Structures are given as structure tokens and as C-alpha cells.
Amino acid sequence: MKRTVVMGMGSWVPERVVTNEEIAFLNERHERCAERQMDTSDEWIQQRTGIRERRYVPNDGSMACSDIAHRAVVPALEDAGVSKAEVDCIIFGTLSPDIHFPGSAVFLQEKLGIAGGACACFDIRQQCSGFLYGMQMADAFIRTGLYERILLVGSELHSHSLDYSTRGRDVAVLFGDGAGAFVLGPADLDDPRAGVVYTDVHADGTGAKDLYLTIFEIARPPYVWYDANDREQNLPKYPQMEGKRVFVNAVKRMAEATHKALADTGMGWNDIDWFVPHQANLRINQKVAEVARIPPEKVLNTIEFYGNTTAATVPLTIDHWRKEGKVKRGDRVLSAVFGSGYTWGSAIFTI
């Protein structure tokens, strides 16, 4: 039976490490200042989020979201033993695209040197749920024989669009830059618990304004109506969040999605090697593990040192722990995600 398998994976994070101590002194170009810019502290951030540090790209305009993705994709292709020319589909999850349009997948395609028409390109905008939404798409494409070598990537560049002031601290301290990628392809397998076993995604638009970024509103002319340099006017260019509502809904939906994945597949925790939740907040992940009765030794986190990399968190976390020797080929993962929209879902797959 034709099934989808993970052929290879890769990830990348920038060299620059920004600690909780340093972020309080950054200006809007994330340059360190002599004077404190944000009323926060390492204790305040760790107590609320579990984050100790995150990674940022340079602020010189040298890197876009597709550049970060490219650095994760190259090792993923090498790991899979797949050439760039064999890729016939790119699915790119991000909320921080290079530009408004066209999508970032075509920029990645060009940087890979495979532009010309043989490779389809999809951009998906499910934010923190983007990677699992993309996995469901890829699984459907492969099972139906539409594509043979799919590059699924989550990539984010958050550091250029955060409000590094006390006004924006609840959001600014959360996010980091990074990317993760899977190469997916078909295999004839008799084992129904091999490869991509299960995907299930959902959305509830009533929570769309609990976590959002306006930048502009296409419904109103002019669609950019504020002075981006005027702090009294420029709030729309930064992400906004109702933190308590997001926390409650994230715990609820990820726990539900986890239970549903096990119920729908007839699996138990003895069948699962690792639980990989979206890395939004360590306190959320700890609560999900408690509510869903997940064995704590099976939970993988990386938010402590990468922060929230949105669409990249699931592949980045898996590849991080694979590089550390903890996750191995043949391990079975259950992943649950939750993002703005609201969007959420779960997947079970073998590495």
C-alpha cells in the first residue's frame, strides 16, 4: 500500500543568541542600547514562558524568510538522499513571508535553482499550525500520486517585526527566528503504523482577533493609514495577543487533539516514542501534558533556547533532539499544535 514517509529532515537557526537579560536593552532594530528599553527580566520571562533565550538573524537586511528556509532545506535534502531537481512540490508554512506577494515558496524554489515550471509551490498561512496543515496536504498529494518528492518547510523571521518596548513585551519576549524542513515521499508499506499514520486539523475563526497582526487592512483605503515611525500610531504593525484566552484555548485544543489522535488510531502511549507539541509557551506544554496524561519523559521541548518559531517549531524540535542523539530513525511521534486563527491539529508519523 502506498504511504507517505519522512525521507529526511533538516533545520537551521541563526548564530546570534539573544538572552532574556539582553532583550530588555534592544531597540526596534534589535541593537543593544546602554539604557533599558523594556521593563522585563529573566525571572519575569522564565516564570511566564519558560524561555531563556532565542535566535535572531542579522538586522542588516541580508536575510529574508526564504533564506532561513533554504538553510534548513539543504541539509534535509542531503539527509533524504534527494537531489534538488527531484523536488516536484514545495509547501511553505510561514506568517513572516519575504513580501506580501508572491509567496515565499517561489523565492525558495529560485534559491534552490529549480525554477522553471517543474515544481509546484504552495504557501500556507496557518501560523503555528502550519507544519501539520502542510503535512496533511503532502500526505494527500503523495497518496494520490500527484507528487513524488515534497519539500515541507516551516520558516519564520520574527525579530524584525517585534515591539521592543514595555508596550510589546508580552509578545516580543516569545518569538525567535528559525526553520525546519521535511522531505516527504511515497513508499509501499504493509504496516499501517509506518510513515505518516494520521493527520487531523481544525479551525475556529471566532478566535481570530485573539492573536493577530494587522500591518494593513485591505478593506479600508488607504490600507496603510498610520505613520510607522510614530509610536502613538504604529501599534498595527506589531502582533497583538489576548494572552489568557490564547493560553486556555491552546491547552484545551492540543489536549483534545492528542486524545483524538490516539482514539482514532487505536494507539496508546506504549506505541508512541515522543510527544512534540508546538513550542509557544513551556507552561502551555506542561499543562497539555498534565491534562492529556502524557508521560513526561516522552515530551520534547526546545522553546527554552529557541523561543516560539511558529511554523518551524515541530520540525526544528524533532531535528534538534535527533542531532543530540535522543530521537532516532524509526521513532514514532505524536505532534499537537495550536495557532492563531484559531487553528489546531495533530499528527502521528514515523521518523
Annotate 284-344 with DSSP letters as a single string: HHHHHHHHTT--GGGB---HHHH-B-GGGHHHHHHHHHHHTTSS-TT-EEEEEEEETTTEE
d(CA 7, CA 227): 47
pLDDT tens per residue across span 63-93: 999 999 999 999 999 999 999 999 999 999 9
**Are residues 302 and 254 part of one domain?**
yes
Looking at 145, 164, 188, the residue that finishes a domain is 188
pLDDT digits (tens, 9 = 90+) for 84-119: 999 999 999 999 999 999 999 999 999 999 999 999
Instruction: Give the residue numbers annotated as catalytic, written as ranges.
Output: 128, 278, 308
Residues 32 and 118 in one domain: yes
Set of cell numbers at residue 202: 481544525
Structural domain including 213 reads: 196-350
- Enter the C-alpha cell of residue 10: 533538516
The pLDDT value given to residue 211: 96
If asked whether residues 252 and 318 sit together in one domain, one would say: yes
Residues 143 and 224 in one domain: no
Of 257, 209, 217, give the one whose Cα is nearest residue 237.
Answer: 217
Same domain, 169 and 221: no
Picking from 188, 211, 233, the residue at the C-terminal end of a domain is 188
Count of domains in the chain?
Answer: 2
Half-sphere exposure of residue 111: CA atoms within 13 angstroms, side-chain side: 19
Same domain, 45 and 143: yes
Sheet of 2-12, strands arranged across? 2-12, 178-188, 150-156, 89-93, 120-124
Does the structure show a pLDDT above 90 at 277?
yes
Among 188, 222, 237, give the residue marking a domain's end: 188
Are 229 and 314 within one domain? yes
Residues 19 and 105 in one domain: yes
180 and 272 belong to one structural domain: no
Residue with cell 534527494: 82
Higher pLDDT, 19 or 220: 19
Instruction: Please tell me the predicted confidence (pLDDT) of residue 78.
Output: 98
Q: 253: domain CATH number?
A: 3.40.47.10
- Quote the pLDDT of residue 1: 86
| pLDDT value at 167 more than 90 | yes
